Amino acid sequence: MALVQVSSNKCFGGYQKVYEHESSELKCKMRFAIYLPPKAESAKCPVLYWLSGLTCTEQNFITKAGSQQAASEHGIIIVAPDTSPRGCNIEGEDESWDFGTGAGFYVNATQDPWKTNYRMYSYITEELPWLLSSNFSVDPERMSLSGHSMGGHGALVCAFKNPGKYKSVSAFAPICNPSQCAWGQKAFTGYLGPDKTTWEAYDATLLAASYSGPALDILIDQGRDDQFLSASQLLPDNLIAACSTKNIPVVFRLQQGYDHSYFFVFSFISDHIKHHAKYLNA
């Protein structure tokens, strides 16, 4: 599968690049960003997948999160894909900021007209890892996940649904219980249909409640002044309770004064990369 390089910039001794390709899962052109640390020139490196939130592209993380220095120091490749298919000419795809373009929610849609293109779950867990292994110096046995907001939801879901595939997982202000919040209910109804039992496959809180895989060490940072926390969109307490019942270790840090923005992500991204490095470089 051909990759077309869109940009390349040297950064902390490595390279921050963006590529475009035709996606077999999503039936459209997709872009992803990849940071290649200096170590990748001479050895296979572990991969941290970063999943961004509503309205984002691959650009938000690479220009606002400040992840490259820590990734360079720890020898970790970071891959940040776009958040949804684009330009599919689906009626209604650009009508809402929280559904359609920029809001793929990391699910495999089952409903028309979304099911042909909106297969972000399979894109993240299957197509993208294969694409990376075929084109870059990555170690496919050492993968981890992180993300912000909708992307935090995606990271947790992918980790819970694939026991043992990912070494670790972390999230910033994740949508923890989408079946119970307005964002999730809107997305799940549109992509998965009205039968709420089908939603359970993409709800981190419900997946945690039935998780029986190997140990999974979770780090979550949440801003105390996050407007979406007070609006009951994120519901971290529900996830923490489910993980506690199943003895899944979670470090949950409520950060005083921080909101939902990338200033929050920038402030703690190094902690998250160190968290993943413990497992990826073990």
As annotated, the active-site residues are 149, 226, 260
State both tokens at 233.
Answer: 């969109």
CA 154, CA 53: separation in Å to the nearest integer? 9
Cα 129 from chain centroid? 13
CA distances from 90 to 57, 62, 87, 282 (A): 19, 28, 8, 45
State both tokens at 92.
Answer: 């209604």
Q: Residue 172 is inside which H or E element, if any? A: strand 169-172
* Strands of the sheet with 77-81, listed across from one edge: 4-11, 14-23, 28-36, 77-81, 45-51, 138-147, 169-172, 218-223, 250-255
CA 165, CA 73: separation in Å to the nearest integer? 24
Contact between 104 and 118 (Cβ < 8 Å): yes
3-state secondary structure of 90: coil
Q: Backbone phi, then psi, for 280, in 5-degree steps?
A: -70, -30
Q: Pairing between strand 77-81 and 169-172?
A: unpaired
Cα 50 from chain centroid? 5
